[in-house]
Amino acid sequence: MWQGGLVTDTPAGAPAKGSIDYIAEENSPRFRELKRTHRSFVFPLSAFFLIWYFVYVLLAGWAKDFMATPVFGDINVGLLIGLGQFVTTLIITLWYVRFANAKLDPKSAAIREDLEKQEAGE
């Protein structure tokens, strides 16, 4: 009685011809390097931005006089720092896109190309 499943002539655990061994690729030096490169950029920048954001929140909560200090006209320090959050987000996004295009995309494209060849049975 057939119970639903693939019937193959390959040994258990061995990748079938034309299939991709994702576990082996995940453990490969080039994939580890790709992850390391990504993490070495993203984690420090994320930590910086979170600290910058929490400083803004803390200042807004506990340094109200400082945040209310007029800079020019009706523009005060709090408003400038708040707008700085948006500017920082834009800068980080553009920086990450540039970094990814230069460092991550070539590495991931090479991995993808090799995996596509592996899937095609080459």
Q: What is the pLDDT of residues 3-14, one digit of tens each?
A: 655 555 556 665
pTM of this prediction? 0.78
Task: Write out pLDDT tens, residues 27-80.
Answer: 999 999 999 999 999 999 999 999 999 999 999 999 999 999 999 999 999 999
Do the beta carbons of residue 109 and residue 100 sit within 8 Å? no
Tell me how crowded residue 76 is: count the other CB atoms within 10 A of its CB: 16
Q: How far is CA 48 from the centre of its chain?
A: 15
Question: In this predicted structure, what is the pLDDT of residue 122?
Answer: 73
**Residue 43 to residues 26, 39, 49, 86: CA-CA distances in angstroms?**
20, 6, 10, 19
Q: What are the domain boundaries of the chain? A: 22-116
Could you tell me how many residues make up the chain?
122
